[in-house]
Amino acid sequence: MNLTSKFPDLGLTIFSRMSALAQETGAINLSQGFPDFACDAGLLEAVNGAMRAGHNQYAPMPGLPALRQAIAAKFATAYGLAVDPEREITLTAGATQALYTAIAAVLRAGDEAIILEPAYDSYAPAIVAQGAQPVRISLTAPDFAVDWAQVEAAVTPATRLIIVNNPNNPATSVFSTADLDALAAIAERHDLLVLSDEVYEHLVYDEARHASVLAHPVLRPRSFAVYSFGKTFHATGWKVGYCVAAPALTAEFRKLHQYLVFSVSTPMQHALAAHLQEPAHWQQLAGFYQHKRDHLARGLSAAGFKLLPSAATYFQLADYSAIRPDLGELAFAEWLTREHGVASIPVSAFYADGREQRLVRFCFAKKEETLDAAIARLAALAG
């Protein structure tokens, strides 16, 4: 059999690699981004109730009307935005599927798509799968600010799409209104589409507010925005997300979506529609996670790490230069896992060129006892 790989440079993701190492060594896994605590008991009961009520067959391709209406109501409450549940919201099998579908729906062979690094690892493979080319703009610590002049300089006649991640994983940074204005000016000037990964929309701290592309009048008609119930409701294994886009973009999105997955888990959609009726479930997330962020931050600081600001997401970046400056990021992450029993992610994994900044990423979406145990192990670093 003559099988030539379309993706010769792709192997096991750093998330799978570090989680496997954590399991092998018995380390506390603060690497992969998933909560180790249960989602709301009422949500679980709603799923069970939906299954017992017979909601076990295909849902409509765009998603249950009740869930799309509940999402539209959430946008009205959170951002004062009117979103059409019929023509602008599509339920997906997680945010990653939504990202892939949007990319595949608009990119053709020979197109270019701009991504900002450090970047979530699914963007580039999805671009390459279409025969298109990722064009990378590197952001650097400590603030990971976007140089929009550099972004515009990267635009060519082949550029069709700009992908942004706001709030950013792993940088934990957030866009200002000035960032959205700059993005809008570039997109409008060069007639580009925008794909905005906004899965951490409700995990923005210190009383700041999320700035969505959907709230910007220039970006709204040319943007796909992607969200995740897994991130919002502590249920990453459910793989339920959604894409919001203007009707013309949604129509293109659904043309492909119907052949990729057709529809998403029916009982989970019923449960989520009911759960969204109570806004407190998502309105309290920022305070809930900010407490965990601050708790882990104190422990990391005491262990000798220099912390970068964590404005959003459920991650904390830490500079380990004062602990083991002799080690590169992957080597440090492996050493910390094997020798001190705490797993992290090297930030270099989010750059195509593997750039080294002596940074690792820790996930604080964990039980208090998990964070306490990790902090106790890391205390040995301080001598």
| pLDDT tens string 294-324 | 999 999 999 999 999 999 999 999 999 999 9
pLDDT tens, position by position, 109-135: 999 999 999 999 999 999 999 999 999
Examine residue 173 and state whether it is found in any structural domain, yes or no: yes
Residue 11 scores a pLDDT above 90: no
Is 236 in the same domain as 302? no
Is 209 in the same domain as 106? yes
> How confident is the model at residue 10, as a pLDDT?
77
Under a CB-based contact definition with an 8 Å cutoff, are residues 294 and 309 in contact? Answer: no
- Which residue range(s) make up the domain with 345? 14-33+283-382
Looking at residues 274-286, what average pLDDT do you find? 95
Under a CB-based contact definition with an 8 Å cutoff, are residues 95 and 238 in contact? Answer: no
Is 295 in the same domain as 340? yes
* Number of domains the chain is built from: 2
Helix (H, G, I), strand (E, B) or coil at 261: coil
Is 140 in the same domain as 237? yes
How far is C-alpha 97 from the geometric centre of its chain's CA atoms? 12
| pTM for the full predicted model | 0.96
Examine residue 224 and state whether it is found in any structural domain, yes or no: yes
- Of 260, 278, 296, which residue sits at a domain end? 278
Is 201 in the same domain as 94? yes
Q: Of all residues in the chain, what percent carry a pLDDT higher than 70?
A: 100
Examine residue 7 and state whether it is found in any structural domain, yes or no: no
Is 27 in the same domain as 47? no
Residue 9 scores a pLDDT above 90: no
Residue 180 in tokens: 């959205």
Examine residue 253 and state whether it is found in any structural domain, yes or no: yes
Examine residue 2 and state whether it is found in any structural domain, yes or no: no
Is 164 in the same domain as 219? yes
Is 222 in the same domain as 292? no
Is 224 in the same domain as 80? yes
Residue 383 scores a pLDDT above 80: no
Examine residue 4 and state whether it is found in any structural domain, yes or no: no
> How confident is the model at residue 7, as a pLDDT?
82
Looking at residues 222-233, what average pLDDT do you find? 97
pLDDT tens, position by position, 13-68: 888 899 999 999 999 999 988 899 999 999 999 999 999 999 999 999 999 999 99
> How confident is the model at residue 57, as a pLDDT?
97
Examine residue 9 and state whether it is found in any structural domain, yes or no: no
> How confident is the model at residue 341, as a pLDDT?
97
* Long-range Cβ contacts of 73-79 (<8 Å, 24+ apart): 73/276, 74/276, 74/279, 74/282, 75/214, 75/244, 77/279, 78/201, 78/202, 78/282, 79/210, 79/212, 79/214, 79/215
Residue 278 scores a pLDDT above 80: yes
> How confident is the model at residue 6, as a pLDDT?
81
Looking at residues 274-291, what average pLDDT do you find? 96
| CATH number reported for the structural domain that contains residue 345 in this entry | 3.90.1150.10
Residue 292 scores a pLDDT above 80: yes
Examine residue 5 and state whether it is found in any structural domain, yes or no: no
| CATH number reported for the structural domain that contains residue 137 in this entry | 3.40.640.10
Is 291 in the same domain as 362? yes
- Of 278, 294, 317, which residue sits at a domain end? 278
